[in-house]
Amino acid sequence: MASKAFSVQVEDKTVCEGFLVRTEEGVLHAYKNNCPHTGAPLNWTPDQFLTTSGRYIQCSIHGAMFKAETGECFAGPCSGKFLKKLDVVEKNGKAYLAIGQMLS
């Protein structure tokens, strides 16, 4: 799997910090970059959202682990909660997101 951070700006104002993750099956998913436990950013360093094995998303603060396919936390202080999933469409090698969902 691979991950990549992104920032969406409207009129020079950041409206969403998020990240993309591609599963081993090649499916692309997008999430807001906020842990449901504390609201803190998930990444350890720029673009580093995954466990060392590259199998799961992991929060850098308390180590909560999430399934890349669903955003569900299965280990850690927010177990049973979900990352905020963003609808993403991949076309011609580019990812497209609907801006309305990023504002909520």
Nearest residue to 20 via CA among 97, 80, 72, 101? 97
H or E element at residue 7: strand 2-10
Q: Is 44 exposed, middle or buried (0-12, 13-18, 19+ CB in 10 A)?
A: middle
Enumerate the domain spans of the chain.
2-103
pTM: 0.89
Q: What is the pLDDT of residue 13?
A: 86
What CATH number belongs to 2-103? Answer: 2.102.10.10
Number of C-beta neighbours around residue 36 at 10 A: 20
Q: What is the pLDDT of residue 16?
A: 86
Average of per-residue pLDDT values in the chain: 91
